Amino acid sequence: MHVLFNLLGLCLLAQSVLGQSTGRDSSPVTTAARQAVDRYDQVSATLEHLYDGPEYISYDRRLTGHAFFPTDTMQDGMVFYEGRQFAVPLLYDIVKDVVVVVHTSGYRIALHSDRVERFSLKNHLFIRIDSIGQNMPEGFYDLLYDGPTQLLARRKKNILVNPNSFGYGIYDPKTTYYLRKNGRYFQAKNKRGLLTLLADRRKELASFARRQKLSFRPSPETAFLKLAQQYDELTKPL
């Protein structure tokens, strides 16, 4: 978005310069001005390819909290959309599981999720997984570790409404973890569940967890990550 605004400024300046030039003026200033106009047209046309989703509709403002991960403030991000890469500010709505961008006109757009291959936001890389043949919901997953063994997190919020509060409610966050082993994904609910999935090195991993004093509560994320890394270290070819 910042790139577009900068190019817009250059374009306006270029139009002023071009408007003042006459005849066959080929001065460096005029040449640069024409290049700025051409570049602005190219960027605008490329971004219009991204802005083809429906307008994003927000939630009832009386709800406590927000629907996004990790924050409800637009963050600089990168999205791979229909084979193209775009560096634009993003929001990630984890109630609807959609990526949100801002159109140049100022309104928000929800990208078509099935056209988003992956996106990065606030040091997190999210990849889209098709549920066909997998024991997990279709959607975006936070790629926590990408080795021979892969660790993913499904970030989700549900809206909990009190029927006696006239629509008031809260956003309730929940994270579910998945481990990919031998090309298949399995849910890891807790320490025991993860060690069961990695049963061929269970004793070594349990000993590693004790030595490292890994904590699995209230969130097991860091511990899961270290165990997945240690498993790949134990099983890597000599």
Per-residue model confidence as pLDDT tens digits over 51-60: 989 999 999 8
Q: Exposed (0-12), middle (13-18) or buried (19+): which is 193, by Cβ within 10 Å?
A: middle
Q: Which conformational region is residue 130 in: left (phi greater than 0), alpha (psi within -120 to 50 degrees), or beta?
A: beta
The pair of structure tokens assigned to 81 is 């959309």
Range of the domain at 237: 189-238
Instruction: Tell me if 32 is assigned to some domain.
Output: yes
Helix (H, G, I), strand (E, B) or coil at 11: helix
Assess if residue 214 is contained within a domain: yes
Domain count, the chain: 2
Q: Are 161 and 167 in contact (CB under 8 A)?
A: yes
Residue 40 lies in a domain: yes
What would the pLDDT profile of 153-193 be if each residue is shown by its tens digit?
999 999 998 777 666 899 999 999 999 988 899 999 999 99
Tell me if 6 is assigned to some domain.
Answer: yes
Q: Residue 229 and residue 236: Cα distance in Å, rounded?
A: 11
Backbone angles phi, psi at 226, to 5 degrees: -65, -35
Residue 208 has pLDDT above 90, yes or no: yes
Q: Residue 118 falls within a domain, yes or no?
A: no
Report whether pLDDT(3) > 50.
Answer: no
Q: Is it the case that residue 69 has pLDDT exceeding 90?
A: yes
